[in-house]
Amino acid sequence: MNTDRTNLAERAARHAALGDVARLAVVDELALGDRSPSELQALLKLPSNLVSHHLKVLEGAGLVARRRSEGDRRRTYLTLADPSVLDTLPRTDMSARRVVFVCSANSARSQLAAALWARASGLPVASAGTHPAEQIAEGARAVAARRSLKLVSSTPHQFDDVTADGDFVVAVCDNAYEELDAPIALHWSIPDPVPQGNDAAFDDAYAELDRRITNLAPRLKAS
């Protein structure tokens, strides 16, 4: 039987990348949310040059991808590029009274995230924006209609008017994450589909939110 040697080499590189304690710890940290290199350095208590080395190995193996912040362009965030690696990671359950998704305008990503959460979990959910728009983006309404997804809010809301103690806050955009002083449980560095405005951009945002929520929902229980 012929074997695809390129595929074998890629698989071997991935196994080798995960065969180091520090790199496995990086993947563990990225299992539910995105981190900047400096955040990983602080969490893992490793020098910056060693963190850079481990990230280079993980990126080279296709396990981790890097995104430039849409807020502070000097920052980058690391995200898992291969969701299948989650099957090998330990599961840690958490608790909250409610989930709140936040982005800048509360017109697209956080609205879609809240609707997807309501479909995936019985835990209460809300969404909000740091600078809420006047209305939900038409592209967000359109992708929700295409996917038979019911939005849980009819209009954007201000973050400070929505959140309360005990909320599990998920920032689904870089601007909100970098702006908020409030405790944020997770950061998802998801590109804003509104500037592009086409179906493909909203479909991409929907798909990434759906994947992340499918991963998070079974791990988050009512407190």
Predicted TM-score (pTM) of this structure? 0.92
Based on the fold, state whether residues 70 and 174 are members of the same structural domain: no
Q: Domain range spanning residue 170?
A: 94-222
Q: What is the mean pLDDT of residues 175-195?
A: 96
Based on the fold, state whether residues 105 and 203 are members of the same structural domain: yes
Based on the fold, state whether residues 109 and 211 are members of the same structural domain: yes
Which CATH number is 115's domain given?
Answer: 3.40.50.2300
Given this model, what pLDDT does residue 1 score? 45
Based on the fold, state whether residues 23 and 98 are members of the same structural domain: no
Predicted confidence band at 9 (pLDDT cuts at 50, 70, 90)?
confident
Domains: count for the chain: 2
- pLDDT, one tens digit per residue, over 73-98 is 999 999 999 888 887 777 778 999 99
Residue 68 has pLDDT above 90, yes or no: yes
Given this model, what pLDDT does residue 95 score? 93
Give dist(CA 92, CA 114) in Å, integer. 22
Based on the fold, state whether residues 111 and 163 are members of the same structural domain: yes
Residue-by-residue DSSP string for 26-46: HHHHTTTS-B-HHHHHHHHT-
Q: What is the mean pLDDT of residues 25-53?
A: 96
Q: What is the mean pLDDT of residues 59-72?
A: 95
Percent of the chain past pLDDT 70, that is, above it, reads 97
Best CA proximity match to 14, nearest among 96, 91, 81, 90: 81
26 and 44 Cβ atoms separated by less than 8 Å: yes
Based on the fold, state whether residues 143 and 205 are members of the same structural domain: yes
User: 106: helix, coil or strand?
Assistant: coil
Given this model, what pLDDT does residue 221 score? 92
Which CATH number is 57's domain given?
Answer: 1.10.10.10
Residue 2 has pLDDT above 60, yes or no: no
- pLDDT, one tens digit per residue, over 93-130 is 899 999 999 999 999 999 999 999 999 999 999 999 99
Q: Which residue has the higher pLDDT, 47 or 82?
A: 47
Give dist(CA 45, CA 208) in Å, integer. 30
Give dist(CA 16, CA 18) in Å, integer. 5
- pLDDT, one tens digit per residue, over 133-147 is 999 999 999 999 999
104 and 131 Cβ atoms separated by less than 8 Å: yes
Q: What is the mean pLDDT of residues 29-53?
A: 96
